[in-house]
Structure 1
Amino acid sequence: MSKVKSKYVFINFICLLLLTASTNLLSQNISKMEDSLLNNQLSNSNRIKIHNILAREYSFVNPIKSIENAEMALELSNKMNDLTGVANAYRILGSVYAQNDNYYQGMEFFLSALDIFEDNGDSLGIGNVYTSMGHYYSRLGLIEQQIFYHKKSLEIFRNLGNQARIGIATHNLSETYLVFGKYEECEKLAFESVEINKRVKNRSVLSSCYNVLGRLQVELGNEQLAKEYFYKVLTISEQLGENSQKLATVGALINLANVEESNQNYEAMLNYLLKAIEFSGVSLLSEELADILLKLTSYYVDTGQLDSAKSYGKKYQELLQKKRAKQAEDRYKLISSVEAAHNLQKERDQLEESNLLKESKLQLAYISIILISVIILILIWTLLLNIRKNKILAKQQKTIESQKLRLESLNFTKDKFFGIVAHDIKAPLNNMKALSDLMLSHIDRLEKKEIREMAQMTSNSLKSTIKMADNLISWARLQMGDVAVDQSLVDVGNNLADIVTLFKDIAAKKQIEMLSSFESDLKIIVDPNQLEFIIRNLLNNAVKFTRAHGMIKISGQQENNKVIITVADNGIGMPDEIKENVFKLESKHSMKGTDGEKGTGLGLMLCQEFITLNNGVLTIESKEDQGTVITLTFDAA
């Protein structure tokens, strides 16, 4: 890496962090935002946003205030269940900890933010975390990871079509390529970033893009073109005033000073360096400004201006002292355990002048603390792995229990199925066999009337058995998930007309009156075959459990946006214990009809399952010896 390149890695990294923090944040007045938090009428959602904005801004100049604001945003977000607010606070905390060399804690916060954004499908949030992770790996000097995450963030922003974020991401990647000597890629992305930031009027990022292009031209030996780009940075800075991108401006001044130095134009170099110090303001604790003071000290020594050299040398020493004090204060507040390391470092500095042996022991103690910290981290990581494994095992155990219950249910279903086959179907088959044997044995002695009666009994038994078999087959298919629902628009009255006519004839044979009444144009979305199955079962039950001279009524009407079909009879009704368990397979009891008709007890359960498959509701009202009313409710089409 060239001398110029290495000299400005630090300050440009800080520029990247500030630029990618927000598109328009520099135009905000921090003090005004802090004052707005005093307004009791301010909503919690706005408080979360402001605290996160302040945390993001303070992360570059005051990590303690940054963490305080992030924690306030985190607390409010948890109360409001604002997951986006939580994730944004985590991302900022990750950046602060990483900037203060607490890389493990920083990565934990990044991953926590990433988990939330991924769970919410928030692509913009994911892209922002990838941007922060690119800067994270930049601090660690891991080139491949740095480029990887900046590329991923750029890809996401391109897919979203978010021009403002694309402008920042292309700038980040161009900066990375410049630092690592990939000049063609740097230039291509830098020009793209310039065009985008012009369109979106993000002049703070635009100034940093020109700074990158200027540095690129320095590396390529085009100093005049480089100066033109640096002048553009200064022009934008003047236009923005107090809202300018200060670090980009300072960087341009320093770069111009270096160009003038290479041309031995020391007066111009001095002018740019003095402007850099004057412009930097509260940023005097930066690493690059220490280099400026050293450069000025060296210049005044070389030119024999010893008073000025002494003055800037003193400022340099004061700057270093302030920097050490600030770092010690921030790190103590960030992580309490750093206090011990800081005290050891101070002790080592004090012993450094008097005793090399004591210094060695201090270094050994410092290393011991690091080793202990590493061991603690390993133990914590192991604990987290064990917790994760236990969660996986618990989930697997829950799955096993669920499968066990399902298997028990299927086994019960199988037993019930074979029980019905063995009893409810076998019994009528035996009866038919007995009747047929009787007819064969005594056919010569039986009269036609007796043969006709026996044949009628056999026919009735066969019909009942076929009905039971149909229900059993339908029920078994439902248990196996082998029933398809083919819904269509159905006119209720027209669709059920043939079935009602058929059962009127059947009811008449038992001397039962059946009435039907359907409003015109009753339409629902339903599987017509399954609707017919339901009505056949309900009418069959009504006929079965209604005495001679009784009455059955089937009707259909629309109430608001619902279509209601009712099948009512004044038959024998149901006892409470049967009505309460009518849809439970384990409590299934069949009742004999008024003429001794038998069944499996599955009919109503099948109706309920078909109703559910078609998004309807089935309700039963029944009292013993008073009759039964069954109501079907569907959404009107």
Structure 2
Amino acid sequence: MSLPKSFSQSISELEDSIYLNHLDRKTRIRLYNLLAREYSFVNQVKSINNAEKALVLSKEINDSAGIASAYRILGSIYSQNDNHFQSLEFFLQALDIFKSRNDSLGIANVYVSLGHYYKRLKRIEEQIDYHEKSLIIFRSLGNKSRIGVATHNLAESYLLGGEFEKSRELVKESIQINSDLNKLSVLSSCYNILGKLEYKIGNKDSAIINFEKVLEISKKLGDKSQKLATVDALINLSDIYYELNQNQLMLDYLKQAIEYSNLTLLDDELSVIYLKLIKYYANSEQFDSLQFYLSEFQSINTKRKDLQLNNQFELIKSVEDSYYLQKVNNKLEKSNLIQATRLQLAYFGIISVLIILIILVWSLYINIKKNKKLARQQMIIQTQKNHLEKLNNTKNKFFSIVAHDLKSPLNSLKSFTDILSDHFDSFSKEDIKNFSNEIKTSVGNTIKMADNLINWARIQMEDVSVDKITLNVAESVQPIYALYRNIASKKDIDLKLEIGENLKICVDQNQLEFVIRNLLNNAIKFTKRGGVIKLSAQELNDKVEIIVEDNGVGMPDQIKENVFKLESKHSIRGTEGETGTGLGLMLCQEFVNLNEGELLIDSEENKGTTIKIRFDKAL
């Protein structure tokens, strides 16, 4: 069934459409994903909620396209909040699904998202690589609309990388395509790129012409204009006229930019504009105006930080709510199970009485047989009691971990924000930047902790399936190695890879990749700067052995002996204060066991750790 109206509907119309009774589930999934995408620009919490609804419904009907689309949207939201680890997880899951479906359009769209992901990380080489990949696919499909977007993205990437001629060639192609298709929003952004290119190489007159085209298109589009391109054009025009000593024009464009940014809620751009005005009024010694814009700058920055913290809190709250919702469902299931067990016991009790009466009447032999049966039932009941006690102890420890490891970083986060709020004027920009980095790291680690806790809980509830396929170890490990080599280099750690070409195993690919990522993450966490980590694999008789070896701090004997026991679990900090729940290795052990493998640890304090995982060699 097609959607009730075109995809250009407003958010309110889309929300109304969701509740139409005649919609089939696939159409409803597409609407949830579309709502999630639209909300990602204005309300990230609502965006996540709609993406999760699409994800749940997609899994119910095994709609892999809906699942992949939801993962891609979730990846974009987490990337916007600098949660790069979780964001990349979602993107890679979406990419895997689209590849398994041979969905070229879906693959190319994920490449676009990965290009934007690396743009936020200021990794120009990777940004260009993914936008080039997306353009190649869109060209092969003959999809003019997406070619117009991809050439725009690649032109912008080349501009950021200083390759001006390549940027010019692509942006002109994009302008032609989007003009033919009347895609005015993308077209305005193309003129903005061309304007910035001309400005960078000193062609101010040509730059002004292109920036004015952006404003002309923006005026024509009204509410549907490309907001960022419009404000960027106004700011660049002000810079040009400042350099031409036409200060009144410079001020006019900056004030237009302020008005437009206020209307479109572009707080980041407002900060940039206020800084330019502060610099101008300070140099011209207009102190009343200087004081006004200093106050505006402080106000907008406070608003941005409060909004960022609120968004991050809401993201964490969303994860927490999902966890507690699952917990409530589990309690209801357990309550129903207890009630069913009681009815069953009552039924067995009645039958037992009847059997006893028959035994008393007919024979002593039947009575003896009945006694033996009761003895066996008693043994089963005792076994179940012991098992329930063990589960209860595990539950108590799990909640203690949640209470400690989630509460501690949130308290730390509150302390940072209290300090910033109470003593903002006494800190330098560098101090504030350092506090912001600490807050960002704390929030990222907290979400990773919550993810590990929820994954562990799902395994305990036997809510994890294993989808085994035959994998080439080198091909599966290479993308993970490429990612963690960059992460390791930030800590001056040399991450080496030594894996043969023809090693094959039969395992669940997602679970194998989870294990290797966790082992590499732990190795980096507990290896000091300048250390060495080696990821290797080898054939061992009828097994394939994957090894992660480091020369880090190693494990004391007490921790090594209890590393897989939940009752002995406690937080361990890395060499530079990185936090964790201590559940990572337990999750690795669980996933390896689910895939009929074996995990071995050899560690010596102050000398390093070697972890080996072994699986049967695939034929």
- TM-score, length of structure 1 as denominator length: 0.53
2-structure distance, mates of 1:278, 1:364: 31
Partner residue in 1 for 2:558: none
Q: SS at the partner of 1:335? A: helix
**Residue from 110, 118, 143 that aligns with 1:129:** 110
Say whether the 8 Å CA contact 2:168–2:194 is kept in structure 1: yes
The answer to whether residue 139 in structure 2 is matched with residue 158 in structure 1 is yes
Query: Where does 1:238-257 land on structure 2 (aligned, <5 Å)?
Result: 238-257=219-238
TM superposition shift of 1:346? 1.8
Change over 3 Å in CA distance of 1:350–1:62 after alignment to 2: closer
Change over 3 Å in CA distance of 1:252–1:399 after alignment to 2: closer
Partner residue in 2 for 1:344: 415
The code of the aligned residue for 2:34 comes to I
Query: Where does 1:71-220 land on structure 2 (aligned, <5 Å)?
Result: 71-220=52-201
Q: SS at the partner of 1:141? A: coil
**Residue from 223, 233, 239 that aligns with 2:214:** 233
2-structure distance, mates of 1:95, 1:377: 26
Say whether the 8 Å CA contact 1:285–1:319 is kept in structure 2: no
TM superposition shift of 1:131? 0.9
Say whether the 8 Å CA contact 1:55–1:92 is kept in structure 2: yes
TM superposition shift of 1:246? 1.2
2-structure distance, mates of 1:218, 1:75: 49
2-structure distance, mates of 1:379, 1:189: 48
2-structure distance, mates of 1:202, 1:364: 39
Change over 3 Å in CA distance of 1:379–1:159 after alignment to 2: farther
1-structure distance, mates of 2:269, 2:68: 33
- Greater radius of gyration (CA): 1
**Residue from 41, 49, 59 that aligns with 1:60:** 41
1-structure distance, mates of 2:259, 2:230: 11
Change over 3 Å in CA distance of 1:278–1:379 after alignment to 2: same
TM superposition shift of 1:280? 2.3
Say whether the 8 Å CA contact 1:33–1:50 is kept in structure 2: yes
The code of the aligned residue for 2:293 comes to Y
TM superposition shift of 1:139? 1.5
Partner residue in 1 for 2:499: none
Change over 3 Å in CA distance of 1:388–1:136 after alignment to 2: farther
1:474-513 Cα distance to aligned partner (Å, 9 max, x none): xxxxxxxxxxxxxxxxxxxxxxxxxxxxxxxxxxxxxxxx
2-structure distance, mates of 1:64, 1:364: 22
1:329-368 Cα distance to aligned partner (Å, 9 max, x none): 0101112556344213124436868999xx9999999889
Say whether the 8 Å CA contact 2:151–2:170 is kept in structure 1: yes
TM superposition shift of 1:110? 0.6
In structure 1, the gaps of 5 or more residues are 1-23, 401-637
The code of the aligned residue for 1:376 comes to G
Say whether the 8 Å CA contact 2:124–2:160 is kept in structure 1: no
Query: Where does 1:208-607 land on structure 2 (aligned, <5 Å)?
Result: 208-302=189-283, 305-335=286-316, 337=406, 339-349=410-420, 371=573, 374=578, 376=580, 380=584, 383-384=587-588, 387=591, 391=595, 393=597
TM superposition shift of 1:381? 7.5
1-structure distance, mates of 2:49, 2:37: 11
* Mean CA deviation greater in 93-102 or 197-206: 197-206
Change over 3 Å in CA distance of 1:385–1:210 after alignment to 2: farther
TM superposition shift of 1:325? 0.6
Say whether the 8 Å CA contact 1:91–1:109 is kept in structure 2: yes
2-structure distance, mates of 1:396, 1:35: 51
Query: Where does 1:616-631 land on structure 2 (aligned, <5 Å)?
Result: none
1-structure distance, mates of 2:40, 2:264: 13
Change over 3 Å in CA distance of 1:345–1:201 after alignment to 2: same
Change over 3 Å in CA distance of 1:47–1:239 after alignment to 2: same
The code of the aligned residue for 1:342 comes to L
Partner residue in 1 for 2:368: none
**Residue from 15, 30, 46 that aligns with 2:11:** 30
* Mean CA deviation greater in 44-53 or 170-179: 44-53
The code of the aligned residue for 1:92 comes to I
The code of the aligned residue for 1:218 comes to Y
TM superposition shift of 1:387? 2.3
Change over 3 Å in CA distance of 1:263–1:68 after alignment to 2: same
Say whether the 8 Å CA contact 1:284–1:319 is kept in structure 2: no
- TM-score, length of structure 2 as denominator length: 0.55
Say whether the 8 Å CA contact 1:147–1:173 is kept in structure 2: yes
Q: SS at the partner of 1:39? A: coil
TM superposition shift of 1:390? 5.3
TM superposition shift of 1:376? 3.4
1:251-298 Cα distance to aligned partner (Å, 9 max, x none): 111111111111111111111111112122454453221121222244
TM superposition shift of 1:57? 2.3
TM superposition shift of 1:35? 2.8
2-structure distance, mates of 1:226, 1:73: 44
Change over 3 Å in CA distance of 1:397–1:317 after alignment to 2: closer
Say whether the 8 Å CA contact 2:413–2:442 is kept in structure 1: no
What number of residue pairs does the alignment pair up?
374
Partner residue in 2 for 1:534: none
Change over 3 Å in CA distance of 1:335–1:305 after alignment to 2: same
Change over 3 Å in CA distance of 1:341–1:204 after alignment to 2: farther
Aligned identity (percent) is 45
Q: SS at the partner of 2:595? A: helix
Say whether the 8 Å CA contact 1:348–1:362 is kept in structure 2: no
1-structure distance, mates of 2:436, 2:261: 36
2-structure distance, mates of 1:170, 1:79: 37
Say whether the 8 Å CA contact 2:104–2:137 is kept in structure 1: yes
Say whether the 8 Å CA contact 1:88–1:113 is kept in structure 2: yes
Change over 3 Å in CA distance of 1:380–1:128 after alignment to 2: farther
2-structure distance, mates of 1:166, 1:381: 44
The code of the aligned residue for 1:83 comes to S
